[in-house]
Structure 1
Amino acid sequence: MTLPETVTDHLDGEEPVAEVDLGGEDRLLVTPTRTLVYRAEGLLSDEAVEEFPHEAERITLTTSRRKAKLTLDYGLDGEETLSIPKAKIDEVLHPLLAGVLDANGITDPGETVKRTFRFSELTLIVTDKRVVKHIGQALWDEEFEEYPFEDVTDLAFEPGNVATSVVLTHDGRQERFKAPNDDARAVEAAITDALLSYHDVRDLDELRAETADEEVDDADSESRQDSPFGEGPELFGEDEEPEPDVEEESTPEESTDQLIQQVEEATGDEEPTENEATSSGVEPAGDAPDTAALAAEIEELRDAVERQEAELERQNDLIEQLIEELRQGR
């Protein structure tokens, strides 16, 4: 579709990387540095173009029954709010977040954003080189976390009653976050495909085997580097086994006496009674806690909290709908 001349003038030679139809003749265009919103001429307004630079420090989202508002915070330069139809939020959010990550130097030049997910207070962005995670009321701000695929050695998914846990082993540590079960398969496919493509392996088993081999090679390399003389010949005869120290032989009676003395010095003459052991802070051994039962109970509590959050969000939508209808005099 041919762009209106007003939009072309505002592009300043940039090529749009994404375009979203906002309804009617209104359109949203995303360039590498800005998001432009074209508003066509109406009965009460002239055509206009709004510009939203991507160097934002924070992005927040508010929704009503029909509208969504994206607010870009530019720090000392203030805020700008972009209003779009609620049904278009996912189409707009994906290229907009990609532009903001690029403008803030979080993604590399040429890095592609594959998928964007928004779950209540969790935002997930999957690129071809990393996963970016943000938790909080904002869609994104400088408190984000990122997991470059270069340091990811394993990936697993643990289904639950309400949500699925994504377990990402990154830089030797496990990172966990949850995705609702309705979207879990899409999240699993997006992260798995991007991770396997980055490492050029067929499946997760091959990735685990490859990273295990790399860890062994790294350990061997570090061991060799610990020597100040590298892998060269032993310069000081260290390859020869040292002769063992020869101790004077002792009689069986002397050996027994020495052993008894060492045991008495280490343990004392008498074993502590149960009361003495308790008073000294040492509890008698008992049954180990059932960790599996505790883990299951914690998982049930998490699921209950997530169900309550979903119910609160549904009630909030109903309240917003009621307010909107009251304003309309219904």
Structure 2
Amino acid sequence: MTLPETVTDHLDGEEPVAEVDLGGEDRLLVTPTRTLVYRAEGLLSEETVEEYPHDAERITLTTSRRKAKLTLDYGLDGEETLSIPKAKIDEVLHPLLAGVLDANGITAPGETVKRTFRFSELTLIVTDERVVKHIGQAVWDEEFEEYPFEDVTDLEFEPGNVATSVVLTHDGRQERFKAPNEDARAVEAAITDALLSYHDVRDIDELRAQTADEEVDEPATETEEDSPFGDGPDLFGEDEEPEPEVEEESTADEATDQLIQQVEEATADEEPTDDEPTSTDVDAAGDAPDTAELAAEIDDLRDAVEHQQAELERQNDLIEQLIEELRQGR
């Protein structure tokens, strides 16, 4: 489709890398440095072109029944708000985030953003070289975490009743985050395909074998040979701060810890003391707790808590939507 002359004048020689139809003749175009929004002339408005530079420090998203608003925070230079139809948010968010990551030097020149996901307070961006994760009400800000594929040695997915846990082994540590089950397959495919392509392997098993070979060939450093503390934690505070867990995970972990404590107490009651002979009687052994059954109960409890958290988040979204509509006088 031919671009209106007004839009061409604002491009300043840049070529659009993405274009989104906003309805009618309105269009959104993403260039390497800016996002442009073209509003066609109407009964109550003139033809306009709005510009949103990609060097933003923070992006927030608010939605109502029909509209979505993306606010780009430029620090001392203030804020700019982009209003689009709610149904178009996924189409707009993907190229916009790609432009912001590039402008802020998070992605390297030539690096391609493959997929973007937004789950409640989790934003997940998959490129051909890394995974970028942001947790919080903002879609993105400078408190993000990134996991370059160069240091990823393993990838697993643990399905649950409500959400699937993504377990990424990066630089010797396991990083966990959750995706709703309805989107879990898309997340799994995006990360797996990008990771395998980066390492040029056929599957995760081959990646594990390749990583194991590299670890065997790598000579031990002087610190590893001489340190009396072995592979334990860094005692001088140089380790990265632990990743903050989302609320539903901490709630589920507390409940799980209580069950684990009950299992340990029950097991302790069955252990013989120094004054009692060890019993091999079949009836006594039959009174021992069924660890498999207790483990299943722990999994069920975790899934129930996750389901309750998802329901609370849904109700919170409904309340926010109601407040927004009341403010608009509906």
Question: Counterpart amino acid of 1:189?
Answer: A
Q: Structure 1's 73 and 175: CA in aligned 2 closer, same or farther, altered over 3 A?
A: same
Structure 2 Cα separation of the partners of residues 129 and 316 of structure 1:
35
CA contact (8 A) 2:133 2:146 kept: yes
Match of 1:31 in 2: 31
Q: Structure 1's 10 and 63: CA in aligned 2 closer, same or farther, altered over 3 A?
A: same
Structure 2 Cα separation of the partners of residues 70 and 129 of structure 1:
26
Match of 1:116 in 2: 116
Mean Cα deviation higher: 319-328 or 123-132: 319-328
Q: Structure 1's 203 and 312: CA in aligned 2 closer, same or farther, altered over 3 A?
A: same
Q: Secondary structure at the match of 2:201?
A: coil
CA contact (8 A) 1:65 1:321 kept: no
Structure 2 Cα separation of the partners of residues 100 and 94 of structure 1:
10
1:246-301: CA deviations, max 9, x gaps? xxxxxxxxxxxxxxxxxxxxxxxxxxx98xxxxxxxxxxxxxx9997887666545
Kindly state the Cα deviation for residue 48 of structure 1 after the two structures are TM-superposed: 0.4
Q: Structure 1's 301 and 49: CA in aligned 2 closer, same or farther, altered over 3 A?
A: farther
1:74-107: CA deviations, max 9, x gaps? 1111111000000000000000000000000000
Structure 1 segment 2-151 matched on structure 2, within 5 A: 2-151=2-151
Aligned length: 270
Match of 2:236 in 1: none
Structure 1 segment 223-262 matched on structure 2, within 5 A: none
CA contact (8 A) 2:64 2:324 kept: no
CA contact (8 A) 1:65 1:317 kept: no
Match of 2:175 in 1: 175
Kindly state the Cα deviation for residue 315 of structure 1 after the two structures are TM-superposed: 2.7
Q: Structure 1's 305 and 84: CA in aligned 2 closer, same or farther, altered over 3 A?
A: farther
Structure 1: which 5+ residue stretches go unaligned?
227-272, 275-288
Question: Counterpart amino acid of 2:216?
Answer: V
Q: Structure 1's 298 and 113: CA in aligned 2 closer, same or farther, altered over 3 A?
A: farther
Structure 2 Cα separation of the partners of residues 293 and 138 of structure 1:
41
Q: Secondary structure at the match of 1:105?
A: coil
TM-score relative to the length of structure 1: 0.75
Structure 1 segment 195-274 matched on structure 2, within 5 A: 195-219=195-219, 222=221
Q: Secondary structure at the match of 1:70?
A: strand
TM-score relative to the length of structure 2: 0.75
CA contact (8 A) 2:59 2:70 kept: yes
1:40-71: CA deviations, max 9, x gaps? 10101001011100001110100111100000
Q: Structure 1's 211 and 326: CA in aligned 2 closer, same or farther, altered over 3 A?
A: closer
1:151-188: CA deviations, max 9, x gaps? 00000111111111111010011111111111111100
Structure 2 Cα separation of the partners of residues 144 and 327 of structure 1:
33
Percent sequence identity over aligned pairs: 88
1:18-57: CA deviations, max 9, x gaps? 0000000000000000000000101010010111000011
Structure 2 Cα separation of the partners of residues 10 and 175 of structure 1:
43
Structure 2: which 5+ residue stretches go unaligned?
226-272, 275-288
Structure 2 Cα separation of the partners of residues 116 and 70 of structure 1:
15
CA RMSD of aligned residues (A): 2.8
1:106-161: CA deviations, max 9, x gaps? 00000000000110010100000000000111111001000000000000111111
Structure 1 Cα separation of the partners of residues 205 and 186 of structure 2:
20
Question: Counterpart amino acid of 1:50?
Answer: E
Kindly state the Cα deviation for residue 304 of structure 1 after the two structures are TM-superposed: 3.5
